[in-house]
Structure 1
Amino acid sequence: MAEVGELQNAALKRKEKLEAMKAKRLKRDENTSQQNNENDETEKLPRPIFRSYQPMDDNLKENALTKTEPGKVEEKIQDQLEAANVKTVVEDVDLINLAPRKPDWDLKRDVAKRFEKLERRTQRAIAQLIRDRLKGCSDNLLDAVNASDALARADEDVEEND
C-alpha cells in the first residue's frame, strides 16, 4: 500500500515539472514573439506586384508591371524553315552502318577468340595424325604423301564451296 502512495506522489511531481517546463517555454515564446513584433514594425512590409490587375488607387499603380509587347516570332520561324530546307548529301551517310546485322553477330564476336584457339589445336591435331600415319606406313611413303595431298585438296574444295 505504501508503494501505491509513493507512485502517486512521483506522478504528481512529474506533472508539476512538466507544467513548469510548459510555462517556461510559453514565457520564452511570448518574449520572442514580442521581439519579432517589434522588429516587424520597424521593417517594411513587402509590396504587392500586380501582373495582370490594374489597380484603381494611385499609390498601388506604382506596383503594377508595365505591359510588354510580345516579340516578333516571324524571324525565328523563318530561320527554322530555312534550316529545314537544307538538303543532306547521300554520300555523307555510310550505308554499311545502316544495314541490319545478322541476329547472331554478337555471339560470333564473343566466341571468335575461342574459335581461334580451337582452329590452332585442330591444325596441330591434323598434323599429328598425318605424322602418325606416315610413321605407320614407312614402307609405302609415296602413297601416304599422296593421300595427305588428296585430303588437303578435298578440304580446300569443301571450303571454297561453303
Structure 2
Amino acid sequence: MAAEEDSIEQAVAARQERLRALKAAQELLNTPDEDSAQVHDNTNESNPISDETNTNMKFRNYVPHDKQLQEGKLVPPVLPKFEDPVAGVPPPSEKKEDPFVNIAPKKPNWELRRDVQKRLDKLEKRTQKAMLKLMAEEQEKQKQLDGDGRNGED
C-alpha cells in the first residue's frame, strides 16, 4: 500500500507542476507587448472601470435574455425605399389583339415533305448513279470515235 500511496502522490505532484506550467504560459500570452501596453495603459486611465465589467458587445440578430446585455442590442438597419424608374412609367398601350389570331401557319406541304423525304433521298442517289453511267457511256462512244478516226488516218 505504501507503494500505491507514493505513486498517487507522485501523480498529484506531477499534475500540480503541469498546472503551474500552464498558468505561467497563460500569463505570458496575456501580458501585452511594450507598444500595446502603452495604448492599453492610456485606455485604462480614461476609463477606470475594469474590462470585465465593461462588456462592449453588439447584437444585431440576437436578442439576449440578460437585461445588461440587452443594452448592446443594435437597431436593425433601415434600407432606403427603392423606386424603380422603369416600373413607374406604364408601357404605351397598343391595340389588344388575340395572340392566337396572328399565328402564322407552316407551309401547307410541310407534312408531305417530311413523309416523302426518305423516298426523295433514295431517288437522288439513283439519279446520281444513272448520270455517272450515262457519262461513262458517253466517254466510251467518244473514245471509239476517236479510235476510228485515228485508224482511218494511218
Give the TM-score band, short-chain normalised.
under 0.3
TM-score, normalised on structure 2?
0.27
Between Structure 1 and Structure 2, the one with more helix by share is: 1
TM-score, normalised on structure 1?
0.26
